[in-house]
Structure 1
Amino acid sequence: MTKKDLDTLFLEAVAKAADMTQASLPQDVQLRLYAFYKQATYGTVDLRQNSSYHLRDAFKTNAWMQISHLSPDEAKECYIEIIDSLIKS
C-alpha cells in the first residue's frame, strides 16, 4: 500500500468515525481509537502535563503511551481496521 493510499484510507476512516456516536462505542474502543489517531497524527506522546490535567486525560494518555511503539503508519492501519470492523458488525 502506498503512503497516499494509506493516508486516503485513514482520512476516510476518520470521517466514518465522526459519524459514530460515543454512546455507541465501548469506552475501551474509544480509548484505542483516540490513541491510534493521536499516534498517527502527532507521533509519540509528549508527557508534559499542564495545570488543567484531569483523570480523563490520564486514561487517554495511558492508552496513547501503550501504543507509542507503533509508527504513525502502523497506527493509521490499526485505526482503519477498528473502524472497518465496527462498520461490519
Structure 2
Amino acid sequence: MDIHNLEEAVALTKKFTSKPSNEELLRLYSLYKQATEGDNNEERPGGFDFVAAAKYNSWLALKGKSKEEASNEYVELVKQLSSKYI
C-alpha cells in the first residue's frame, strides 16, 4: 500500500472489508489518539465501562510518544492490516 500520512491511513481503514481484532482496533485507536491529541490527560472512566477503560489504558500506555512517531506507527500498522482486511 502506498500511503504516506495519517489522513490517507484513516481513509484506508474505512475500506477494510472485515473488522480487525479487538487488539488491533485498540492499537489503531491509541495510536490515532496519540498522533492527534498527544498524551492522554483525560479522566479515567469509572464503573463497569470496560471498553472505555481498555481504550483509556491503551492510549495511556503511549504517554511520552511524540505525535509524529505515533502517526508513523499508525500508518505502518494500517499498511500491515490492509493486507489482511482489504
Q: TM-score range by the shorter chain?
A: 0.7 to 0.9
Aligned CA distance change for structure 1 residues 15 and 53 (closer, same or farther; 3 Å):
farther
Q: What is the alpha-carbon distance in structure 1 between the residues aligned to residue 45 and residue 82 of structure 2?
A: 36
Q: What is the alpha-carbon distance in structure 1 between the residues aligned to residue 48 and residue 9 of structure 2?
A: 29
Q: What does residue 67 of structure 1 align with?
A: 62
Q: What does residue 11 of structure 1 align with?
A: 7
Q: What does residue 5 of structure 1 align with?
A: none
Q: What is the alpha-carbon distance in structure 2 between the residues aligned to residue 31 and residue 77 of structure 1?
A: 16
- Structure 2: any 5+ residue segments left out of the alignment? none
Name which of 37, 41, 49 aligns with 1:46.
41
Name segments (4+ residues, structure 1) moved above 4 Å.
Answer: 49-53
Q: How many residues are matched?
A: 81
Give the TM-score of the pair, scaled to structure 2. 0.80
Q: Shift in Å at residue 87 of structure 1?
A: 1.6
Alignment of 1:20-31 (within 5 A): 20=16, 24-31=19-26
Which structure exhibits the higher relative contact order, with contacts defined as CA atoms closer than 8 Å and separated by 6 or more residues?
2
- Report % sequence identity: 31
Q: Does 1:58 align with 2:53?
A: yes
Alignment RMSD, CA only? 2.2
Q: Shift in Å at residue 67 of structure 1?
A: 1.3
Judging by fraction of residues, say which structure has more helix: 1
- Structure 1: any 5+ residue segments left out of the alignment? 1-7
